[in-house]
Chains A and B, each alone.
Chain A
Amino acid sequence: MSELLQFTFSGLTVGAVYALVALGFTIIYNASGVVNFAQGEFVMLGGMITVFAHAAGAPLPAAAALAVVATAAIGILLNKLAIERARGASVVTLIIITIGASIFLRGAAQLGFDKQLHRFPSFSGDDPIAIAGATILPQSLWMLFGAAVVFAALYLFFTRSLTGKAVLATANNKLAAQLVGIDTDFVMALSFGLSAAIGALAGVLATPITLTSYDAGTALALKGFAAAMLGGMGNPFGALVGGLLVGLIEATTAGYLSSDYKDAAAFVVILAVLFAMPQGLFGKSAQERV
């Protein structure tokens, strides 16, 4: 029993990172229908910028804040320089541009930083907290807390605020959005900035446990994408649940079976769910009358 609890804790920890990556996907997808494959690189940048700012003498909170702001700026630049230039291009073209951006950011990080694995100290020390025979790291609680706060903020943003609705409207019908007075260029910049900031926050929270390096983003993007698909692309609640589920499946497979199978098990479950429910667990079906 305490074994299962232990696997649950480690699953939730890694699941929180996937959930944050998936939430990042959700925003840009909601604004534009584009799946941003550079999302993992935002996570990597969040970790790496914090590492190097901290090593250069900045206190950890300042280094983390700098990382989030700088990554948000990079996200906005990516939109300005690559996505906005391709005005009128199809969604598939834009997705391929984000894959290019992901390769570019990885290469730039390799040159600008280095190729080593890095970490920085946990926020509240590394003494495990014992709960019912299992243990959890304080940093894991920080990660879960971060995912919960980001989810709640995004949920309120999309359901309660007019700006959030403008983001949804822009994705649904860009022409109509312009006709009701929505500045669609601003909506795109906002969503890339927000997504990048959330990705960077995931990197800041996770790096003390998972470590980071210039190429840490690829795997995260893949898992986060899978989590978003599992939960239903575009739905913040789905992203949260999908992320935590993928983390839990991985942790229990690694614990009871073998860690060799943990990736396979996660993807098998995702494929099974998508065969039965192509729109994901919480996604809206795409039917509409014309």
Chain B
Amino acid sequence: MLSVEGLRSRYGRIEVLHGVDLEVKAGEIVTVIGANGAGKTTLLRCLSGVQPVAAGRIVFRGDDVTRTAGHRRLGAGLAQVPEGRQIFTNLTVEENLRLGAYLFSDDRVDSDMAEAFAMFPVLREKRNQRAGGLSGGQQQMLAMARALMGRPNCLLLDEPSMGLAPILVDQILDVVRNLKSLDVTVLLVEQNAYAALAIADRGYVMETGRVTMSGPAAELIADARIREAYLGV
């Protein structure tokens, strides 16, 4: 589905990704865990084409998309729920969802919106309210629903649990787990390593711009070094 080879990226003269290799197969939930500043968000920004790639390759569904403009990646089937939600605060909930399907103007837009409301009933209640007035958890749901309106094959999620109460974290991660049934492949970036590994098939550990470990989620969760560094046990 998605493969990344030797990806390097920099902000100005400071390189933050020093050659990242990563692979996500169709139907998988893959997680990237790591501390703040490890380069996880930069990696996702490169994948979505909103951060320049200095070297390396991104191949998505057989096509090299390394140089594809950001606004064309969704058309190829690659969506992202960015860090900090990034919803359109001035627009209504419904307008946010409609813009999620900006590339489409067929009948399926309406049925997709009905599905999004079925997935997150609270959004239906608030459909005509300004999105900026939603609570943090509701904004996260809106951000996920908006990304799904773009009919992605692969969804990149950047810290969906950030700043949420534990009960909401569970709810959001349940939705992520259920994306499998919608045939959406997931690449999940999380600081909340335990929660992420619990729902993932495989995981990568990033440290200061490099992948330092990778393997099946069950193995990583049992690994002594990971337990000490990221799981706090």
Residues of A within 8 A of B (CB): 162, 165-166, 168-169, 172-173, 175-184, 284, 287-289
Contacts and interface: CB of A to CB of B under 8 A. Distances in A.
A237 B69 CA distance: 35
B48 interface: yes
Contacts of B98: 162, 165
B146 interface: yes
Interface of B: 48-50, 69-72, 74-75, 79-80, 82, 86-91, 95, 98-100, 102-103, 105, 130, 132-136, 146-147, 150
B102 A184 contact: no
Contacts of A165: 91, 95, 98-99
Residue in A177, A178, A179 whose Cβ sees the most chain B Cβ within 10 Å: A179
A179 B48 contact: yes
A175 B88 contact: no
B88 A289 contact: no
B21 to A, nearest CB: 24
Contact of B75 (A166, A181, A284): A181
11 contacts: A162-B98, A162-B99, A168-B91, A175-B50, A179-B48, A179-B74, A181-B75, A181-B103, A183-B71, A287-B132, A288-B133
A285 to B, nearest CB: 10
Q: Which 3 A-B pairs have the closest CB atoms?
A: A288-B132, A181-B74, A176-B86
Nearest to A288: B132
B71 A181 contact: yes
B150 A181 contact: yes
Contacts of B146: 180
Given A162-B98, A180-B146, A288 B50 contact: no
A178 B70 CA distance: 6
B71 A182 contact: yes
Contact of A168 (B71, B75, B88, B136): B88
A281 to B, nearest CB: 18
Contact of A289 (B69, B135, B147): B135
A79 B55 CA distance: 30
